[in-house]
Amino acid sequence: MKTLPRHSGVFRAFALGALLALATHALAQTDPLPSWNDGAAKKAIVEFVQTTTTQGSPQFVPPAERIATFDQDGTLWVEHPMYSQVMYILESVPALVKAKPELAKVAPFSTVLEVLKGDRAAISKLTMPDLEKLAAATLTGMPVATFQAEAKKWLAEAKDPRWKKPYTELTYLPMQEVLKYLRANGYKTYIVTGGGQDFVRQYSEAVYGIPPEQVIGTAGGTKYGYAKDGKPFLTKEPKLLLNDNNAGKPEGIHLMIGRRPYMAVGNSTGDQQMLEYTKAGDGARLSMLVLHDDAKREYAYGPAQGLPATKVGAFTQALYDQAKKRGWIVVSMKDDWKRIFAFE
Amino acid sequence: MKTLPRHSGVFRAFALGALLALATHALAQTDPLPSWNDGAAKKAIVEFVQTTTTQGSPQFVPPAERIATFDQDGTLWVEHPMYSQVMYILESVPALVKAKPELAKVAPFSTVLEVLKGDRAAISKLTMPDLEKLAAATLTGMPVATFQAEAKKWLAEAKDPRWKKPYTELTYLPMQEVLKYLRANGYKTYIVTGGGQDFVRQYSEAVYGIPPEQVIGTAGGTKYGYAKDGKPFLTKEPKLLLNDNNAGKPEGIHLMIGRRPYMAVGNSTGDQQMLEYTKAGDGARLSMLVLHDDAKREYAYGPAQGLPATKVGAFTQALYDQAKKRGWIVVSMKDDWKRIFAFE
């Protein structure tokens, strides 16, 4: 290596430049959550990460135990006016009817065709058992690889009606920052969703940087078998193994991870038990709920705090009161988030 | 820093010493599998790792997709004369009978008490339904935390009858080397065991460096509930979610990982489907079976290749023939392993 003359002007100028560059870099690094406004929520996240990852902290968590779990719909991305996977199920019906024309006149398939033709009122005719029937027909009974290809195709083409963008772009930038911040500090980030595990796994890595094995969702069984050429394959079965909602969330976490998260984030009553379970652990634990109170930039629904009621991702007043009582953080989209989407 | 006079004898001597140290270190590093004898099995493992992890190789696998799955009993540790978890179940019966004295005279609990008192012949009376009954009674119906504490206590105290060592020390050194070699090359290593998922997760991290979330095993449901003080907890339920044997292994891999492994290792007919499923993927895939043909240093059982038949971890001739036909590697414990245990 060619050495610079020590203590010369050139050397000092170089050293000063390097120091300045380092300082600028350090300043740019000081805010890991630039899309968050300063406030209790942002402060709680930063304090939680510092407390649990600083060597010598009384609440230090060894890297192997750093687990954080996130609900998806309404927590990491938009869930209104309807969960994207429900849109997938509905929009898969025409192809299903094409393959089995006898279904065209049979409810609930006929009802879905009316909805897709523009009869929005028809959607209210669909009951929960209808939706289960539709889910079984569109999500099961085919090889895993066929489902994966169909889901990927839909995800590439389908668009949200309001923003006219692929659903996969409607993720919340502030939450993407939280995921990255946690990972940069040694946390393993998991999705724990009521949505279909196989569905969410098709895009979790590209959209959130979360690999399929860190997606826990509502899961059905598969059946191992052989094709005519002897090649083995798995078929998706209409057999529910895990309903990953409500109590199913901590149960699913135990099944798939086997230890309690240190941080959990949700946005609806379906996340209550996951947040309780997380917060009940020893040491520093962070439970957090996203409140959709921003009708202008996204949507406003509760019914907590007098917000409009909804059937999609309800955040009840009881859940709000529980959060306040137990020290869970409630994030106001309106007040806590400087930006909502990366494309804004 | 005090600088050494450049090009002086001292400097040159220092540089030479450093180079020698580096070279020695490099030589020591050239064999990642020192407990393996040179042969087809060792060669196949090293070639597989090099082929799939060398940038520019036509069969390069991106780090995120590097998944390797290992059966446990008979593949990573000793399974004879009996699976360690079955020993746990049997040895948990006295405490169970103490808590519920009415069971003392009821089969299969009474039969187990006879076995434990030394009547080895009584063990043959135990049928599969008996074992299921015993498993339900000793592995379920209690809080997850209670089970974890009991399993950990047993693991710390129980000893294998032949080596008089804790079961957790009876792991195969050559396989430990394979696990480490794979991880050093970016592979995520998983256990995929017919044993109980909750049981194996109690020691997998300490024994194999495999965290609980990378243990897939036979799994039962849990039920979320609240203690009197309002604290939530999970109870182990006698409800089977996944029988992680035979076809259940690829099904379990899909459920818990969501993608196909590049390498899979087993030792018995219960691993056949996992090995088929792995080998059926694109690119370089390695399927491997451990053959217990070393009666002196461990055990000899098949019935493949004329080895004695067994009910515990049978390796049939049909499986052996399938392995040879499909290019799976069969590891001979006798010929391929220089050492078997770390304590030897």
With CB atoms and an 8 Å threshold, state whether A258 touches B215: yes
Residue B24 has pLDDT above 70, yes or no: no
Q: Which candidate from A222, A233, A250 shows the least CB-CB separation from B234?
A: A250
Higher pLDDT, B10 or B119: B119
pLDDT averaged over chain B? 93
Cβ of A161 under 8 Å from any chain B Cβ? no
Question: So what's the pLDDT on residue B10?
Answer: 52
Question: So what's the pLDDT on residue B13?
Answer: 53
∠ CA A291-A292-A293, nearest 5°, is 100
**d(Cα B139, Cα B135) in Å, to the nearest integer?**
5
Question: So what's the pLDDT on residue A10?
Answer: 52
How far is B30 from chain A, CA to nearest CA, in Å?
A: 29
CA nearest to A240 within chain B? B241
∠ CA A112-A117-A118, nearest 5°, is 100
Q: Give yes or no for a contact between B170 and B262, defined as CB atoms under 8 angstroms apart.
A: no
pLDDT per position as a tens digit, B176-229: 999 999 999 999 999 999 999 999 999 999 999 999 999 999 999 999 999 999
DSSP B171-187: BBHHHHHHHHHHHHTTP
Residue B17 has pLDDT above 60, yes or no: no
The interface predicted TM-score of the complex, written ipTM, equals: 0.91
Using 50 as the pLDDT threshold, list the residues of chain A that sit under it.
1-7, 27
Query: Considering only CB atoms, which chain A residues are within 8 Å of B67?
Result: 213
Work out the burial of residue A76: count CB atoms within 10 Å of its CB; fewer than 13 is exposed, 13-18 middle, 19 or more buried.
Answer: buried
DSSP B270-335: GGHHHHHHHHTSSS--EEEEEE-B-TTTS-B--BGGGPPP-SSS-B-HHHHHHHHHHT-EEEEHHH
* Local structure of residue B77 (DSSP, 8 states): B
State phi, psi for B277 to the nearest 5 degrees.
Answer: -60, -40
Q: CA Rg, chain A, in Å?
A: 24
Pairing outcome for strands A263-266 and A67-70: parallel
Contacts of the segment A104-108: beta carbons below 8 A, 24+ positions apart: A108/A133, A108/A134
Q: Give yes or no for a contact between B72 and B193, defined as CB atoms under 8 angstroms apart.
A: yes
Cβ of A222 under 8 Å from any chain B Cβ? yes
Handedness of CA B327, B328, B330, B331 (dihedral sign): positive
CA nearest to B213 within chain A? A257
State phi, psi for B331 to the nearest 5 degrees.
Answer: -90, 125
* Local structure of residue B10 (DSSP, 8 states): H
Question: So what's the pLDDT on residue B3?
Answer: 45
Question: So what's the pLDDT on residue B20?
Answer: 54
Query: Considering only CB atoms, which chain B residues are within 8 Å of A201?
Result: 258
Count of alpha carbons within 13 Å of B101, Cβ hemisphere only? Answer: 0
With CB atoms and an 8 Å threshold, state whether B219 touches A255: yes
Q: Chain centroid to CA B212: how far?
A: 12
All residues at 6 or more sequence positions from A218 whose CB lies less than 8 Å from its CB, including other chains: A193, A194, A195, A196, A197, A240, A242, A243, A244, A245, A248
Question: So what's the pLDDT on residue A61?
Answer: 98
Question: So what's the pLDDT on residue B248?
Answer: 98
Q: Which two tokens stand for residue B338?
A: 């220089």
Q: Give yes or no for a contact between A79 and A202, defined as CB atoms under 8 angstroms apart.
A: no
Count of CB atoms within 10 A of residue B340's CB?
20
Handedness of CA B40, B42, B45, B49 (dihedral sign): negative
Q: Which two tokens stand for residue A239?
A: 């057999």
Single out the residue of B272, B239, B277 nearest to residue B257, CA to CA: B277
Cβ of A38 under 8 Å from any chain B Cβ? no
Question: So what's the pLDDT on residue A14?
Answer: 54
State phi, psi for A293 to the nearest 5 degrees.
Answer: -120, 30
**d(Cα A151, Cα A167) in Å, to the nearest integer?**
12
∠ CA B222-B227-B231, nearest 5°, is 90
Query: Considering only CB atoms, which chain A residues are within 8 Å of B247?
Result: 223-224
| Helices B84-91 & B144-157 angle (0-180, nearest 10) | 110
pLDDT per position as a tens digit, B276-307: 999 999 999 999 999 999 999 999 999 999 99
Q: Which candidate from B188, B221, B251 shows the least CB-CB separation from A234?
A: B251
Single out the residue of A108, A111, A107, A133 nearest to residue A122, CA to CA: A111
At residue A289, the 3 state secondary structure works out as strand
Question: So what's the pLDDT on residue B122?
Answer: 85
CA nearest to B211 within chain A? A64
pLDDT per position as a tens digit, A135-176: 999 999 999 999 999 999 999 999 999 999 999 999 999 999
**d(Cα B294, Cα B289) in Å, to the nearest integer?**
15
Cβ of A193 under 8 Å from any chain B Cβ? no
pLDDT class of B310 with cuts at 50, 70, 90 = very high
Q: Which candidate from A223, A231, A257 shows the least CB-CB separation from B213?
A: A257
Handedness of CA A207, A209, A215, A220 (dihedral sign): positive
Integer angstrom CA distances of residue A191 from A18, A32, A152, B332: 41, 21, 18, 42
How far is B28 from chain A, CA to nearest CA, in Å?
A: 29
How far is A119 from chain B, CA to nearest CA, in Å?
A: 37
Q: Give yes or no for a contact between B144 and B194, defined as CB atoms under 8 angstroms apart.
A: no
Work out the burial of residue A88: count CB atoms within 10 Å of its CB; fewer than 13 is exposed, 13-18 middle, 19 or more buried.
Answer: buried
Single out the residue of B161, B137, B144, B143 nearest to residue B84, CA to CA: B161
Q: Which candidate from B212, B223, B224 shows the least CB-CB separation from A258?
A: B212
Q: Give yes or no for a contact between B288 and B263, defined as CB atoms under 8 angstroms apart.
A: yes
